[in-house]
Amino acid sequence: MIDTKKDFPIFKNNPNLIYLDNAATTQKPSSVLDAERDFYENHYSNVHRGVYQLSQEATELYENARESIAEFLNASPEEIIFTRNATESINLVANILPVSKNDKIVSTLMNHHSNFVPWQLLSQKTKAKIEYLSLSESAELDVEDFNKLKNATVFAFTHASNATGVITPAKQLIEQAKDAGALTVIDAAQSAPHLPIDVKKLDCDFLALSGHKMLGPTGIGVLYGKKELLQELPPFLTGGDMIREVTIQETTWNDLPYKYEAGTPNISGAIGLAEAVRYLQRIGFDELLAHERDLTSYAHKILPNYVDVYGPAPSKKLGILSFNVQGVHAHDVASILDSKNIAIRSGHHCTQPLLNALGLTSTCRASFYVYNNKREVQSFVDALELSHKTLVK
């Protein structure tokens, strides 16, 4: 069993907190907080600007963070663009791709709204066709539907569902999309905190992730893009740092990755995220996933029979439990759990097309991470029993 609670100050300051909303955001270890504090207290200044010592130190820390992320994803540093979060990363891609009315975008009903709405809008704006891969009863992508990838020019899908934890067959999907000649955009916001990611092995064109879901700070995200694509595509936001030369007649763009980082970036966020990645690497992703699956299997095993769980068996998903207590609204379950200091999510999880496909409007979601343990899972199940006892008519 992994025991890491002591590394997270929030649990020292809230000793009774049982935090099971890790698919929404994760708590921060001291090492991440220390890295940010050290930057502000000892090395703070802007990056890529000043020639003075402090600015060089800040630039070095920021670029070292980029190198750490590049190594983590098996990319090269110029392919790593720092953004605010996965949402911004995906919107960036949707705004620079040369899509027109003869194109066909393929998305999926599993996608988070952040990887759903940008493509819906792009299709409306360009009159490009859009199709969606539908879901099976176990909330997995429907294999029968993979032939929709035929003639696709853009394929945007999710590596792991934030609502159910389902892990998609990313490699196979990308291969099929490539055969059709499509560009592939993969939302790894939910997978990167739990699974090792290798963009070379996946051979995806773009990949997005959010720092705050993987022990990093809020306001920092990553877009990976293949170098040869990013070189050819136009910029998204324009302004400082992404410029090579500006005249009244025209402007030329900076080299990668700076071409896509307009304005002063979230320097401390990038430094914090790199530290979060080091923390996860020290634990090891095999160990981490085994720990989460252990907790999820245990939860599946001890859940009362009046709890409906959505999605496949624990071995086919991340440590996420999407469920409803029969006869009790998800919000009421979450409020009763809150009265026992247990934090879970309730609602549509920004995945309304997914829930609609399953015939649901809202679910409860408990999601496990590195600091959770079996005792907490037991308390969680006990509180579910309380919600059933209190509210079933």
- In the range 374-393, which residues lie near another protein by CB under 8 A? 390-391, 393
177 vs 337, which CB is nearer to another protein?
337
Under the criterion CB under 8 A, does residue 347 sit at the interface with another protein? yes
Tokens standing for 297?
Answer: 């299997």
Under the criterion CB under 8 A, does residue 42 sit at the interface with another protein? no
Under the criterion CB under 8 A, does residue 329 sit at the interface with another protein? yes
Under the criterion CB under 8 A, does residue 361 sit at the interface with another protein? yes
Under the criterion CB under 8 A, does residue 264 sit at the interface with another protein? no
Distance CA 199, CA 308 (A): 36
Distance CA 141, CA 133 (A): 7
Under the criterion CB under 8 A, does residue 339 sit at the interface with another protein? yes
Q: Per CB under 8 A, which region of 13-21, 78-86, 137-145, 329-337 contacts another protein?
A: 329-337
Closest CB 352 distance from another protein, rounded Å: 7
Distance CA 94, CA 128 (A): 13
Distance CA 131, CA 152 (A): 9
Closest CB 342 distance from another protein, rounded Å: 12
Report residue 289 CA to chain centroid gap.
16
The DSSP annotation for 161-180 comes to -TTT-BBP-HHHHHHHHHHT
User: Which strand ranges, in their side-by-side order, compose the sheet holding 307-310?
Assistant: 307-310, 320-325, 363-367, 345-347
User: Rg of the Cα trace of the chain?
Assistant: 22
Distance CA 21, CA 349 (A): 11
Q: Per CB under 8 A, which region of 67-75, 77-85, 100-108, 327-335 contacts another protein?
A: 327-335
Q: How many residues bind another protein (CB under 8 A)?
A: 17
Under the criterion CB under 8 A, does residue 326 sit at the interface with another protein? no
320-325/307-310 β-pairing = antiparallel
Q: Which of 199, 330, 357, 366 binds another protein (CB under 8 A)?
A: 330
226 vs 349, which CB is nearer to another protein?
349
Under the criterion CB under 8 A, does residue 219 sit at the interface with another protein? no
* 351 contacts 117 by C-beta, under 8 angstroms: no
Under the criterion CB under 8 A, does residue 12 sit at the interface with another protein? no
Q: Please count the other Cβ atoms lying within 10 Å of the Cβ belonging to residue 387.
A: 23
110 vs 222, which CB is nearer to another protein?
110
Q: Which residues bind another protein (CB under 8 A)?
A: 329-332, 335-336, 339, 346-348, 352, 355, 361-362, 390-391, 393
